[in-house]
């Protein structure tokens, strides 16, 4: 074998491992590249389904016609306390297909599954609480009393002394009750939540303390955040 | 002649690697990140507007907001209260600006941020609330 052909053979033998290494490197980089691209695309996945569920469920929960609300964005504390998973499923059937969780200020209200990895939408709401309060005013010479809080209605219990006839009850100059023969017993009068109410009594004689008792719904509100999460 | 032994296939492989990485970089950079902040801001602005618009008044008129924008004087008198109330309604990580026919309340809107916006119509003109994340 000549010196030249020996050299050619050596060259061919170094080319083979180089080709193997080249193929290995290209295959590895292709694999890593595919994984990176896949990660980037799945990271940009907006999960439109669960986002839509969270957005529309949150909007439905605070809408005026929702089982929770008194009016738009105002939740009723009593209905909120009674709300649970069953009522959520009944009122919003989408909760059957997707795991959703409703939280108010971090406290769970109702949940139909785990939503740790899901999408969360927060809405601002006001929680309205109605408490019955009783007032037994000592009426002055003007015979009027201003209710300290606004409410939807008031219950009056009138028990005037025998010599006195209560002929009229006015709420802010609007005549709420009227009877020339004398009012006595229990009456309910509607109030406006937009203004403070002053109740005025017209009577033919003295009205000592205890002859009028007013029971009214005091409205108390507090602000809260309603968080709705959906997963799946 | 020994220099000719440099394996050409390794050179080709290096070129191939550069090509593949370029394509991958294009995919990784070109795909936008999902924008989840704007719908939440829109929801915050809408909620704040609804709550403000439905609050009972303290003195007169139909609602608190109508009372505030009723006149220049009432707006000047109530602007501090409006600012405090809006601040109270919105979460702590959100800043706001309320634009009324008589003037603006809140922080100046910075450029280059995503904002949510809601408008309420009152009898005295439109009131716009803009919110953005700090």
Q: Are A105 and A143 contained in the same domain?
A: no
Inter-residue contact A164 to A143 (CB < 8 Å): no
Question: How many domains does chain A fold into?
Answer: 3
Contacts of A72 (CB under 8 A, 6+ apart): A62, A63, A64, B50, B54
Inter-residue contact B127 to B120 (CB < 8 Å): yes
User: So what's the pLDDT on residue B2?
Assistant: 54
Q: Are A57 and A102 contained in the same domain?
A: yes
Neighbours of A83 (CB within 10 A): 21
Query: Is A53 within the bounds of a domain?
Result: yes
Q: Are A118 and A103 contained in the same domain?
A: yes
Residue that is written with structure tokens 């009522």 in the block: A87
Neighbours of A193 (CB within 10 A): 15
Interchain proximity A124–B89, CB inside 8 Å: yes
Q: Which residue has the higher pLDDT, A195 or B44?
A: B44
Q: Are A121 and A73 contained in the same domain?
A: yes
User: So what's the pLDDT on residue A1?
Assistant: 46
Q: Are A119 and A150 contained in the same domain?
A: no
Inter-residue contact A66 to A119 (CB < 8 Å): no
Taken in order A40, A41, A42, A44, the sign of the CA dihedral is positive
Residue that is written with structure tokens 């691209």 in the block: A37
Task: Find the mean pLDDT for residues A173-200.
Answer: 86
Query: Is A216 within the bounds of a domain?
Result: no
Q: Are A124 and A227 contained in the same domain?
A: yes
Q: Are A143 and A192 contained in the same domain?
A: yes
Question: Domain coordinates of chain B in residue numbers?
Answer: 37-133
Q: What is the pLDDT of residues A12-55, one digit of tens each?
A: 556 788 888 888 999 999 999 999 888 888 777 667 788 889 99
Band of residue A226 on the pLDDT scale cut at 50, 70, 90: very high
Q: Is the ipTM above a cut-off of 0.85?
A: no
The pLDDT of residue B36 is above 80? no
| Portion 24-83 of A in contact with B at CB < 8 A | 25-26, 29-30, 33-34, 36-37, 40-41, 43-46, 51, 55, 58, 62, 71-74
User: So what's the pLDDT on residue B119?
Assistant: 93
Query: Is A196 within the bounds of a domain?
Result: yes
Q: Are A13 and A37 contained in the same domain?
A: yes
Q: What is the pLDDT of residues A121-171, one digit of tens each?
A: 999 999 988 888 888 888 777 788 888 878 788 888 888 888 888 888 998
User: So what's the pLDDT on residue A11?
Assistant: 53
Instruction: Name the residue range of residue A181's domain.
Output: 137-209
pTM of the shown model: 0.70
Domain boundary among the residues A12, A29, A45 is at A45
Minimal Cα distance from A222: which residue of B? B89
Q: Are A118 and A227 contained in the same domain?
A: yes
* Averaged confidence pLDDT in chain A: 85
Q: Are A41 and A70 contained in the same domain?
A: no
Contacts of B101 (CB under 8 A, 6+ apart): B69, B124, B125, B126, B127
Q: Is A8 part of the contact surface with chain B (CB cutoff 8 Å)?
A: no
Query: Is A95 within the bounds of a domain?
Result: yes
Minimal Cα distance from B28: which residue of A? A40
Question: Three-state SS for B107?
Answer: coil
Helices (DSSP H) in chain A: which residue ranges? Answer: 3-43, 48-62, 77-82, 85-91, 94-97
The pLDDT of residue B68 is above 80? yes
Both tokens assigned to A176: 């709420």
What is chain A's Cα-based Rg? 37
Interchain proximity A37–B51, CB inside 8 Å: no
Taking CA A31 as the corner, what is the angle to CA A28 and CA A35, rounded to the nearest 5 degrees? 140
Query: Is A215 within the bounds of a domain?
Result: no
* Averaged confidence pLDDT in chain B: 85
- Residues of B in Cβ contact (< 8 Å) with A124: 44, 47-48, 51, 89-91
Interchain proximity B36–A51, CB inside 8 Å: yes
Q: Is A194 part of the contact surface with chain B (CB cutoff 8 Å)?
A: yes
Chain-centroid distance, C-alpha A206: 49
Interchain proximity A14–B5, CB inside 8 Å: yes
> Which of B13, B20, B90 shows the shortest C-beta gap to A33?
B20
Q: What is the pLDDT of residues A41-94, one digit of tens each?
A: 877 766 778 888 999 999 999 999 888 888 889 999 988 889 988 989 999 988
Q: What is the pLDDT of residues B70-111, one digit of tens each?
A: 888 888 988 898 899 999 989 889 999 999 998 899 999 888
Q: Which residue of A22, A46, A56 to mutate against B (max B Cβ within 10 Å)? A: A22
Interchain proximity B40–A121, CB inside 8 Å: yes
Interchain proximity B56–A23, CB inside 8 Å: no
The pLDDT of residue A10 is above 60? no
The size of the A-B interface in CB pairs under 8 A is 106
Minimal Cα distance from B40: which residue of A? A121
Helices (DSSP H) in B55-94: which residue ranges? Answer: 64-68, 72-89
Query: Is A190 within the bounds of a domain?
Result: yes
Name the helix (H) or strand (E) containing A22: helix A3-43
């Amino acid at each position: 074998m000549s010196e030249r052909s020996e050299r050619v053979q050596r060259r061919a033998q170094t080319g083979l491992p180089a080709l193997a290494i080249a193929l290995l490197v290209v295959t590895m980089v292709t694999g890593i590249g595919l994984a990176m691209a896949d990660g980037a695309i799945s990271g940009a996945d907006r999960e439109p389904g669960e986002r839509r569920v969270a957005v529309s469920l949150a909007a439905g929960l605070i809408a005026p016609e929702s089982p929770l609300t008194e009016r738009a964005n105002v939740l009723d504390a009593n209905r909120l306390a009674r709300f649970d998973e069953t009522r959520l499923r009944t009122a919003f059937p989408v909760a059957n297909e997707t795991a959703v969780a409703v939280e108010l200020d971090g406290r769970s209200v109702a949940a139909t599954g785990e939503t740790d990895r899901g999408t969360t939408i927060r809405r601002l709401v006001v929680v309205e609480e109605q408490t019955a309060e009783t007032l037994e005013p000592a009426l002055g010479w003007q015979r009027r009393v201003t209710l300290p809080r606004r409410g939807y209605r008031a219950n009056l219990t009138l028990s005037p002394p025998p010599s006195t006839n209560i002929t009229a009850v006015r709420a802010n100059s609007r005549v709420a009750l009227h009877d020339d023969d004398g009012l006595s017993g229990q009456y309910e009068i509607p109030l406006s939540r937009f203004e403070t109410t002053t109740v005025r009594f017209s009577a033919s004689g003295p009205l000592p303390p205890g002859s009028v008792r007013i029971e009214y719904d005091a409205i108390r509100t507090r602000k809260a955040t309603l968080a709705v999460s959906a997963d799946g | 002649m020994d220099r000719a032994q440099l394996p050409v296939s390794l050179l080709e492989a290096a070129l191939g690697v550069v090509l593949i990485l370029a394509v991958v970089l294009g995919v990784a950079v070109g795909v936008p990140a999902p924008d989840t902040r704007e719908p939440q801001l829109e929801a915050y602005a809408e909620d704040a507007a609804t709550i403000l618009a439905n609050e009972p008044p303290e003195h007169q008129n139909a609602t608190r907001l109508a009372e505030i924008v009723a006149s220049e004087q009432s707006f000047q008198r109530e602007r501090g209260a409006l600012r405090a109330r809006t601040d109270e309604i919105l979460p702590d990580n959100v800043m706001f600006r309320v634009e009324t026919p008589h003037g603006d309340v809140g922080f100046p809107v910075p450029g280059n941020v995503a904002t949510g916006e809601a408008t309420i119509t009152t009898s005295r003109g439109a009131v716009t609330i803009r919110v953005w994340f700090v």
